[in-house]
Structure formats: C-alpha cells, structure tokens
Amino acid sequence: MFLTLWQDWLYEVRYLSQDKPWPALDRWLKNWFRQQERLPLELQSELSAACYDIFRVLQKIDFLETSYQAKNIISEVDKWDLSWHCQEVENHSARDFVAWFGILFPEHNFATQLTCEARQTWYSSEFKPKWRGQADAESIQVILNGFRPTWLPLLVQRQLISNWDDGKLIDFIKSQEKTPPLWLRADPKLYNELKTSLYKQGVKVALDDNGLMAVGGKGVNQTQEYKQGLIEIQDYASQQIAAAVMVKPGQKVWDACAGAGGKSLAIASKMNNKGSLVATDLQSYKLDELKKRAKRAQLHNVRAFAWDGESALRLPNDVAKQKGFDWVLVDAPCSSAGTWRRNPDAKWRFNQSDTDELVKIQSGILENAAKAVRKGGYLVYATCSWQVAENEAQVADFIANNPGFELVEQKMLGAPDVDSDIMFVATLKLKQD
C-alpha cells in the first residue's frame, strides 16, 4: 500500500504539479486518503507515519540510491549538496526509492515487504563499513542525520550561541528524526482528571512534568473536553511563548501576529476576562478561527482585526488613554525551521534567500509593533525557528536601533530538552525614561 502511495505522490509532482513547488504533505495526504475507499483509520495512521519518515530523509535516500547505482560512495559531497534539489528524487523509480525506506525504517509494519536484498547487502557490507573513511565523512554524517551539509554553518552558529557541547548538538540533530507528540493546553489542576476522561474516550494520553500530550488513538477534537473549551491543542514550546507574556488581569495586551490564536487564547485565559487583548494578523481569515475558539473558551475580552505590519497600529481608545499596551507579542513570520519535526517536507523548501527576506520582514514588524508599547511595558519577540539570524541577531539589531528597550531574557524553547517543536522567545522592556 505504501508503494502505491509513493507512486501516486511521484505522479503528482512529476506530471500534475510539474515545475510548481511540491504541495504541502499534510494536505496532499488528506486528499489522498479521501480518495481511498474504506481505508481503516489505523492503516491511514501507519501510512502517514511512513510518509513523514521518508520525507525526513529524502536527501539521505537520494544519496544512498545514487551511490548504489554508481557502486561507489559519492565523492565531493559538499559540491554534490550545493547543486542538489529535492525534486531530484523524482528521477528514481518508486520501487527503488521505497526499498530504502524498508532498509532504514524496519520498525514499520510493512517495511519487510519493501526491502531490496541487493541494496540491503550493499548498504551493510559496502556503505556502512566504508563511509567513515571518506574524505567528506563529516558531510556524509550530516546527510545521514537528515540535514544538508549546506546547513552545517547554521548549526554550528546555533551551537555557539546556545553554548552547546557536541553532545547537545547531536541531540538537537537527532531530535529531528521523529514527530513530537500532540501537546494539550489545560488547567494543570485538571491534568489527572482529563487524562482519565480522554483515555475513556479513546485518546491515548501521556502526562509528564512538562504537561499533557496525546500520543495516539482517536482525535482530540472529537472529545467533550475539547468541545467545551477545557483543552486546546498547542505545542509545548508555543505554550512557553504565551507564558512569557506575564499579563495580569486588567492589563492591555496586543498579539500582533496572532494567526489562529493559540497564544492569544492562552494569554487571555490568564486575564479572567478583565482588561483587553487585541489580536491581529495580516490574513483576516485566520482570525475567524480565533474568534470561534475564543467563543468556545468563553473569553469575552478578545478583539480581532487585520493589521498589515507595514505601519504603526492605530491604538484602540482604551489603550491610547494609557499611552500604549502593557504587553506586545510579536510571533513573527519566520522560516519555521523549528517545526520541521512535525512538517518534514518544509525542510526541503528551506533556502537562504527566503531567510534573508524574512529577516527584513521581521525587522519591519518588530519596529512598528514596538511603537505600541507603553513606557515600562514589555515587548515579547518570538519565532518558531532555531536560526540565529532570525532570533538573537534580530534582537541585537533591534536593541541597537532602539536603545530605549533593554533585554530582560532570551532563550530557545523545546527540543532537544523537551519533545516538542523548537522555538525562540525574547522579552524586552521599554525603559521609563
């Protein structure tokens, strides 16, 4: 069945999409499953997991298959990587490509049906014993771990800024090998009660020191607790960004890039419906979902409207009276490199020119949002990226251009310390003078 799925994917990108960017994997899978009649949910889950795993290592499989066909490990790996594009996997037959899935992921139920004995023998007796002796062994190691050698300077930069030893960097890279659990936001006092109730409704739930998470079974959004607003789906790292906005009831908050509102709702839940929270986004349709979620959670102090980020926000009257917001959160548009564990196909769309453009956009949004902070108030900047250019370097440039702000704290969130997405948050304070 997985071979059929991969054949259909290749047909899509070879003939239907052609030179267009690949479709997002999650949406493509959803459409593909819709076309399959009476496919059991358990099998859908297994096929999805397999597809996500193969996307984690697209370049690795292309590297192995190309080396296998040449009967020699690719030399000048860095040069090969510089010219490599994800669409090159379209050059391999579906059967040859998924044979590597069977070799690399033997834990999957149908892996043994896909394995090619000749490739297995070459991999075990030729490749594995010899690759460490290659001149480009370091670059090969990066490929085997699911990253591109081109990205190695970015990883080293992250290691230096975060003061990681080599072991921590390896943990970070290895964390990319699996999908994180589905984290749930709820009142911690209800964790045990919710765990029991969700389990009875068919949701497999785990609870640790970091919170509550769904790890399998039925969908959380079908449960009574979700429909009643007692739980929300929100990644652990995202929850920590919301926690960085230490709002008090009665204060004024602006979530400048609210999207569907996960952080807005988490922040508003701490306000006891006192004060106000303004949620804006460039795309107004995203705010429609926020409004629905706020209503379900019975949060009545949330206002939502579009803001393009290209000029200062016109302050609502109640905010203008106090000369700005107490808290402004900028969860900026970014490369989303911190979500590759959950969306591995996005990894292969990543490029430096996009990052450079995003850094400019982030800077502009940050500058305009900062104008809405009252004296003594706080500006919280966040991304779902691990790149230094989008995070610490962006914050340093902002402070250099806006000396009225001082850095309170900045840190990375999530993996590899916690099994979640990877995010960054910085808190800055506007001085009173």
Is 345 annotated as belonging to a binding site? no
Is residue 306 within 8 A of residue 282, CB to CB? The reply is yes
Percent helix, strand and coil across the chain, each to the nearest 5 = 50, 15, 30
Q: Residue 380 has which token pair?
A: 């919280």
User: Do 343 and 272 contact (CB within 8 A), yes or no?
Assistant: no
Phi and psi, residue 163, nearest 5°:
60, 45
Local structure of residue 147 (DSSP, 8 states): -
247 vs 264: CA distance, rounded Å: 12
Distance in angstroms (rounded) separating the CA atoms of residues 350 and 337: 8
Residue 235 annotated as binding site: no
Residue pair 409/243 in contact (Cβ under 8 Å)? The answer is: no
Helices 94-104/2-11 angle, 10° precision: 130
Where does residue 127 rank: exposed (0-12), middle (13-18), buried (19+ CB within 10 A)? middle
Q: Which of 51, 86, 334, 384 is catalytic?
A: 384
C-alpha to C-alpha distance for 338 and 360, rounded to whole angstroms: 19
* Residue 86 is a catalytic residue: no
308 annotated among ligand-binding-site residues: yes
Nearest to 272 by CA among 297, 254, 296, 289: 297
Q: What is the number of alpha carbons within 13 Å of residue 13 lying toward its C-beta?
A: 19
Position 11, amino acid: Y
- Which residues are designated catalytic? 384
Q: Which residues make up each annotated binding site?
A: 281, 308, 331
Q: Which residues make up each annotated binding site for S-adenosyl-L-methionine?
A: 281, 308, 331
